[in-house]
């Protein structure tokens, strides 16, 4: 099935986004990487390539020409925003270049010029100084995807061949995460995950495993009541809705190899419960996927790494995995 190009954002221009985008394009033949175009400042990309002592060809282009150009040059779609920061040293242009690239990627995929959005890492501290009011990438994408004021509920999945996880609560202190955990939130999150696993990853009937919150999933209430009072009712409601679901399961025995074969995605109750096992198993090639949006969005599962930007040490594996997964999801959609 033929699909259009992937829209790859530059991310934080002074981080490793340019490094790994260049590295992915260089490996396009070796790793059969699907065609993408980079949204950002071509001069920034050329400066970074020179800084890395890499002799590459770039071509400023419109998205519709990206596939034809991809074999011979890295296609770059400009936003009109320059990025003048040095590697590891963002400046006043960084935030606006990063934001403009995200906005343009969403427009491109909404208008059919791209089949999916792949985002390089941003530096939230840099964006906040420029007035960015969103907690992060995901919330900004949800706002851009809003239709008639109705904002989608984005759900974060970290995917790898070894394990896929969805945290129900994400960037909250643990005490607040427990308070925020409700049966309704678990049901909504798991329902979105099951739907996208089916329609975008081609799983006929996704199998979900819900982790318990407390040790040993609460030991029938002797180690906390949340598993019986909050999670078990969610499992019952999901099962009645026709979703293949089990739980709450003791989290300490959910992630060994044999256990992982019994489900397609683990629905976890808080951030570290989900991300510790997947980052242990797939630190270099895990992919951050936003479910629940009206378009496909994937991202490398790491940050801007200012300390190694421009040094040649950045590993493009997670970005390459994000590009491959985005293309796979586009073929199923």
Q: What is the pLDDT of residues 48-96, one digit of tens each?
A: 999 999 999 999 999 999 999 999 999 999 999 999 999 999 999 999 9
Residue 10 shares a structural domain with residue 111: yes
- Tell whether 112 and 239 lie within a shared domain: no
Examine residue 240 and state whether it is found in any structural domain, yes or no. yes
Q: Are residues 148 and 20 in the same domain?
A: yes
- Give DSSP secondary structure letters for 267-300: EESSHHHHHHHHHHHHTTT-EEEEESSSS-EEEE
173 and 120 share one domain:
no
Rounded Cα distance, 4 and 176, in Å: 42
Question: Do 254 and 268 contact (CB within 8 A), yes or no?
Answer: no
| 165 occurs within a structural domain | yes
Whether residues 139 and 209 share a domain: the answer is no
pLDDT at position 261, please? 97
pLDDT of residue 148: 66
Same domain, 68 and 167: no
> In the prediction, which pLDDT does 161 show?
96
Looking at residue 333, its pLDDT comes to: 80
Helices (H), 146-297: 174-180, 183-199, 226, 232-240, 257-260, 271-282
Name the residue among 298, 326, 301 with its Cα closest to residue 315: 301
* Judgement on whether residues 209 and 75 belong to the same structural domain of the protein: no
Write out the residue range of the structural domain in which residue 246 sits: 155-279
Q: What is the pLDDT of residue 138?
A: 86
Distance of CA 85 to the CA centre of its chain: 25
- Residues 125, 132: Cα–Cα separation, whole Å: 9
**285-316: burial string, b at 16+ Cβ within 10 Å, e else:** bbbbbbbbbebbbbbbbbebbbebbbeeebbb
Structural domain includes residue 221: yes
Kindly provide the residue ranges of all beta strands, DSSP E only, lying in 51-185, ordered along the sequence: 58-60, 74-77, 116-118, 155-159, 164-167
Confirm whether 284 is domain-assigned. Answer: no
Shared domain check, 148 and 173: no
Same domain, 12 and 147: yes
What is the model's pLDDT at position 204?
94
CB 152 within 8 A of CB 160: no
Residues of the chain with pLDDT > 70, as a percent, come to: 99
Query: Which pLDDT score is estimated for 24?
Result: 98
Residue-level pLDDT at 135: 80
Same domain, residue pair 110 and 15: yes
Nearest to 70 by CA among 111, 12, 26, 135: 26
CA dist., res. 11 & res. 105, Å (int): 11
Mean pLDDT across the chain, nearest whole number? 95
Per-residue model confidence as pLDDT tens digits over 256-315: 999 999 999 999 999 999 999 999 999 999 999 999 999 999 999 999 999 999 999 999
Cβ distance 21 to 29 under 8 Å? Answer: no
Whether 36 and 144 map to the same domain: the answer is yes
In a domain, 286, yes or no: no
Question: CATH number of the domain that 248 lies in?
Answer: 3.40.718.10
116-162, pLDDT tens digit by residue?
999 999 999 999 988 888 888 888 999 999 876 678 999 999 999 99
- 1: pLDDT strictly greater than 60: no
Mean pLDDT of 8-26: 98
Inside any domain, residue 204: yes
Q: How many domains does the chain have?
A: 2
In this prediction, residue 205 carries a pLDDT of 95
Query: Does residue 74 sit in the same domain as residue 97?
Result: yes
- Report yes or no on 1 lying in a domain: no
Percent of the chain residues past pLDDT 90, beyond the cut: 91
Q: Nearest CA to 13 among 123, 163, 178?
A: 123
């Amino acid at each position: 099935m033929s699909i259009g190009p992937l829209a790859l954002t530059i991310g934080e221009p002074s981080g490793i986004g340019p490094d790994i985008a260049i590295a992915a394009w260089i490996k396009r033949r070796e790793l059969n990487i699907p065609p993408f175009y980079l949204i950002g400042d071509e001069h920034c990309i050329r400066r970074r390539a020179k800084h890395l002592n890499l002799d590459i060809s770039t071509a400023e282009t419109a998205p519709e020409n990206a596939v034809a150009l991809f074999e011979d040059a890295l296609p770059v779609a400009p936003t009109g925003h320059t990025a003048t920061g040095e590697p590891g040293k963002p400046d006043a242009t960084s935030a606006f270049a990063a934001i403009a690239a995200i906005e343009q990627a969403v427009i491109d995929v909404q208008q059919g010029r791209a089949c999916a959005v792949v985002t390089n890492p941003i530096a939230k501290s840099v964006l906040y100084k420029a007035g960015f009011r969103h907690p992060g990438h995901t919330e900004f994408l949800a706002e851009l995807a809003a239709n008639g004021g109705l904002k989608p509920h984005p759900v974060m999945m970290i995917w790898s061949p070894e394990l896929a996880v969805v945290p129900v609560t994400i960037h909250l202190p643990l005490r607040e995460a427990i308070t925020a955990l409700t049966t309704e939130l678990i049901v909504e999150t798991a329902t979105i995950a099951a739907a996208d696993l089916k329609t975008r990853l081609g799983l006929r009937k996704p199998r979900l495993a819900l982790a318990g919150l407390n040790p040993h999933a609460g030991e029938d209430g002797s180690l906390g009541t949340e598993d019986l009072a909050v999670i078990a009712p969610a499992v019952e409601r999901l099962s009645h809705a026709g979703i293949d679901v089990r739980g709450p399961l003791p989290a300490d025995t959910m992630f060994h190899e044999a256990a992982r074969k019994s489900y397609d995605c683990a629905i976890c109750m808080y951030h570290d419960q989900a991300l510790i096992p997947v980052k242990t198993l797939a630190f270099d090639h895990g992919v951050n996927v936003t479910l629940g949006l009206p378009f496909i969005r994937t991202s490398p599962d790491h940050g801007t790494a200012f300390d190694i930007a421009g040094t040649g040490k950045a590993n493009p594996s997670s970005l390459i995995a994000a590009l491959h997964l985005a293309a796979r999801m586009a073929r199923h959609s």
